[in-house]
A and B are shown apart, each in its own frame.
Chain A
Amino acid sequence: MKISVTVTLKKDVLDPQGKVVKQTLKNMGHQNIENVRQGKYFEIELNENDKMKAEKIIEEISKKLLTNTVIEDYAINYK
Chain B
Amino acid sequence: MESSVIVFPGSNCDRDVAVALEKFQIRNQMIWHNEVSLPKCDLVVLPGGFSYGDYLRTGCIASKSKIINAIIEHGKKGGLILGICNGFQILIETELLPGTLLRNKKLKFLSKNVFLKVLNTDNNFCSNYKNKSIIELPIAHNEGNYFGSNDLIKNLEDNNLIAFKYCNGEGKIEKDSNPNGSSNNIAGILNEKKNILGMMPHPERLIDPLLSGEDGSILFTSLLKS
Contacts and interface: CB of A to CB of B under 8 A. Distances in A.
Interface of A: 16-17, 20-21, 24, 27-28, 38
18 contacts: A16-B55, A17-B53, A17-B56, A20-B52, A20-B53, A20-B55, A20-B56, A20-B61, A21-B55, A21-B56, A21-B61, A24-B52, A24-B56, A24-B61, A24-B64, A27-B64, A28-B64, A38-B56
B155 to A, nearest CB: 31
- Chain B interface size, under 10 / 10 to 19 / 20 to 34 / 35 or more: under 10
Contacts of A24: 52, 56, 61, 64
Interface of B: 52-53, 55-56, 61, 64
A33 to B, nearest CB: 14
Contacts of B53: 16-17, 20
Contacts of A27: 64
Given A20-B53, A24-B61, 16 more contacts: A16-B53, A16-B55, A17-B53, A17-B55, A17-B56, A20-B52, A20-B55, A20-B56, A20-B61, A21-B55, A21-B56, A21-B61, A24-B56, A24-B64, A27-B64, A28-B64
Contacts of B55: 16-17, 20-21
Nearest to A28: B64
